[in-house]
């Protein structure tokens, strides 16, 4: 039985060409340091990236884990058939899971309204 809250590996974007396609052709939604790029296609996939400007590898990986968890819980609120890149390009010392969650939810609402 497949749960609607799972995040299988086939839904994750990997590879430079796939990332570049979404980043260059996608629509950008921004909230502070968080940027979400959305590109319409035939299936739902998601990619996560954190800039090297963000402190060190431990913090970058923690933020990517937070993004994956938020997406996994809230992906059912998004429309299907879109490739999404969630990108953090800076660091705010006030960044926490809850603030990041609120920012992502606000951007997901904007995405649903505009696409």
| pLDDT single digits (tens) 56-115 | 899 899 999 999 999 999 888 887 788 999 999 887 777 889 999 999 999 999 988 887
Domains (ranges, CATH) in the chain?
31-114 (3.30.230.10)
Dig out the tokens for 77 from the structure. Answer: 């609120």
Contacts of 100 (CB under 8 A, 6+ apart): 34, 63, 66, 67, 70
Band (25; pLDDT cuts 50, 70, 90): very high
pLDDT of residue 1: 45
pLDDT of residue 49: 93
Burial class (CB in 10 A: 0-12, 13-18, 19+), 47: buried
Strands ordered across the beta sheet of 27-31: 27-31, 34-40, 82-88, 45-50
């Amino acid at each position: 039985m497949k749960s609607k809250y799972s995040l299988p590996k086939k839904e994750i974007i990997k590879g430079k060409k796939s990332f570049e396609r979404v980043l260059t052709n996608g629509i950008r939604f921004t909230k502070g340091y968080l940027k979400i790029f959305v590109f319409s296609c035939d299936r739902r996939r998601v990619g996560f990236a954190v800039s090297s400007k963000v402190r060190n590898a431990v913090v970058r990986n923690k933020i990517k884990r937070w993004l994956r968890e938020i997406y996994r819980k809230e992906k059912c609120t998004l429309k299907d058939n879109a490739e999404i890149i969630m990108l953090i390009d800076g660091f705010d010392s006030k960044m926490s899971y809850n603030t990041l969650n609120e920012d992502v939810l606000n951007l997901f609402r904007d995405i649903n309204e505009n696409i």
